[in-house]
Chains A and B, each alone.
Chain A
Amino acid sequence: MRARSEAASLLSARRSRKAMLFGTWYVAEHGLRTMSSYVTTIITGSIFNPLIYLFALGIGIGSYIDANAGGIGQQGVSYLTFVGPALLASAGLTAAFEETTYVVMGGFRWSRIFWAMNATPLRGSQIANGVLLAAGFRIVFTVVAFWLFLFAFGAAPSPWAPLAIPAAILSALAFGAVMMAIACRIEDDDSWFSIIYRLVIAPMFLFSGTFFPVERYPLGLRWIAWISPLWHGSQLGRVASYGLEQPAWLVMVHLGYLVALLAIGMRLSHTGFERRLSK
């Protein structure tokens, strides 16, 4: 009897060790399956969203600014080239928002699927990782699609321009991790998400040097850009996309800030998920 039960526990110890290694992936797999039910929305959004912005800002406002002010960005690049990397990052952030707020609320509250996952060897931290990994797939898809449009519109002139893609992905992931850390602490009131959207995300979009350089804002407003992952991602993207001149230390600050935000967001998501699931 003893030998048999030991064999059984060995088998399942191996099973659960494997589950531990791949657990994040299994959760992400689930997220991707779920996304496939609204894949049309994702693809349509990924095509129309860039087109609308590129036409409005490139051909509309952009041509006006370019003709009258000789380009708003430094170094005389076209307006579209200037806003391009910021729009790219912001498309990533929007995808991240959707995949880390309502998805997390749903997993805890509506479908309760996180509780089902946690009844298996999966840990709360793996569930959080898996949610962000799945979001990552959507972010990559969205950002790459957007970038191809930028490229097609001639708004990515530098040979380094493709590096704007990882910059946008990193800022979206950092932002997603923070949103997830918040979402897992909201018990059942999903109206918080629209409040956060209006009070945090919309202002971030407007004051993060998206449409004109942060130096043109009064000092009292610049801090919004400094703390915003969108600004750091946009600036990195501009360095890559058209060679915006930034001292090396500042590039490191942008990178370091985003990595730190990602790490803190994930850490807080882990504790949030684990605490809520083990109540």
Chain B
Amino acid sequence: MLHDMNDGDSVMIRSRGLTKVFGSIRAVDGIDFDIGKGEAFGFLGPNGAGKSTAMRMIAGVSRRSSGDLTILGMDPNRYGPDIRGHLGVVPQQDNLDTDIRVRDNLIVYGRYFGLPLSYLRTKADELLEFAQLEDKAGAKVESLSGGMKRRLTIARALVNEPEILLLDEPTTGLDPQARHILWDRLFRLKESGVTLVITTHYMDEAEQLCDRLMVMDKGRIMAEGTPANLIRRYSSREVVELRFGSDRNEDAAKRLEGTGDRIEVLPDRVLIYTDDGERDLERIVAGGMRPVTTLVRRSSLEDVFLRLTGRSLVE
């Protein structure tokens, strides 16, 4: 996070009190943030947190209910089409053109930006290579796997060489291998200097991809910082996970009172937040308790979220 908030040139997106109301639902409820040039910025939150709604406002399509928003120095209410010329958008739900073939998807989409066919033909091949879809150029969109569709959507979003790439849950629903291929592509984009805005409800994705994160819940910002910084601020170094069997976790937690910095009881396990997990685990076992399974691990963003909201990220 090397950007300077006062430097007008490096702030790509600025939001103050950004709010979106649907009837009685405050989907996004007054959020502030700045996203700097070249940054990989993440919105982390569970389903319904308001991530997609925020994304659609940043994409210059959804009109905000109140607050201020500037994208590349422009107000999307007035300059939506101009702003969108600089953006690449990967929506949560794929909206590829299923009537036309894979490579044509890139070309036709590029036409919407007013880009000439001569440019698009070369660009399409370049992007197919980037998305590792060269041998699918003439395939029907329906014949692609979920991961390939996602990669094609990302390739499509790059056709106008955007300055900012918006990715709404880029890997949700993909198998681990497909996710890793996708992450690798996104790393390469990040290295090439594209500003990335990512929403996710996977803490590992947020940790892997984001320089800086906003933890969102119910339309509000719960915390903001680098992944490491958030973990340091809101969690301990290590976590001991103990399972005693679902009906005995509560009782066990009472007996564990005083161990570590803090104890959380979940329906299926007890979490002890501590600086030294091995040491505490030895003490617990020496004290005569017999958990069914035990695990000592490093703190993660999942723990940060649990601490901030009292709930886990993925239900």
Q: Is B177 an interface residue (CB 8 A)?
A: no
Given contacts A9-B72, A116-B97, contact A278 B63 (CB under 8 A): yes
A120–B109 touching, CB < 8 Å: yes
Q: Which of A10-34 contact B (CB under 8 A)?
A: 12-13, 15-16, 18-20, 22-23, 26-27, 29-30, 33-34
Given contacts A9-B72, A30-B108, A112-B93, contact A279 B82 (CB under 8 A): no
Count of chain B residues with a beta carbon within 8 Å of a chain A beta carbon: 33
Given contacts A33-B108, A119-B61, contact A13 B91 (CB under 8 A): no
B114–A18 touching, CB < 8 Å: yes
Given contacts A33-B100, A34-B99, contact A120 B84 (CB under 8 A): yes
Q: Is A117 an interface residue (CB 8 A)?
A: yes
Q: Is A1 an interface residue (CB 8 A)?
A: yes
Nearest opposing residue in chain B for A13, CB measure: B82
A-B CB contacts (within 8 Å), total count: 96
Q: Is A2 an interface residue (CB 8 A)?
A: yes
Q: How far is the CA of A277 from the CA of B96 in the complex (A)?
A: 17
Provide the main secondary structure of the chain B interface. Answer: loop
Q: Which of B65-93 contact A (CB under 8 A)?
A: 72, 80-82, 84-87, 89, 91, 93
A111–B99 touching, CB < 8 Å: yes
Q: Is B111 an interface residue (CB 8 A)?
A: yes
Provide the main secondary structure of the chain A interface. Answer: helix
Q: How far is the CA of A15 from the CA of B61 in the complex (A)?
A: 18
- Most chain B beta-carbon neighbours within 10 Å: one of A5, A111, A118, A121: A121
Count of chain A residues with a beta carbon within 8 Å of a chain B beta carbon: 36
Q: Is B164 an interface residue (CB 8 A)?
A: no
Nearest opposing residue in chain A for B74, CB measure: A9
Q: How far is the CA of A12 from the CA of B85 in the complex (A)?
A: 6
Q: How far is the CA of A10 from the CA of B115 in the complex (A)?
A: 15
Q: Which of A115-140 contact B (CB under 8 A)?
A: 115-123
Q: Is A8 an interface residue (CB 8 A)?
A: yes
A121–B82 touching, CB < 8 Å: yes
Q: How far is the CA of A123 from the CA of B104 in the complex (A)?
A: 22
Residues of B within 8 A of A9 (CB): 72, 86
Residues of A within 8 A of B109 (CB): 116, 120
Could you list 9 examples of A-B contacts with CB < 8 Å?
Answer: A8-B86, A15-B114, A16-B113, A111-B98, A115-B95, A116-B91, A117-B112, A123-B80, A277-B61
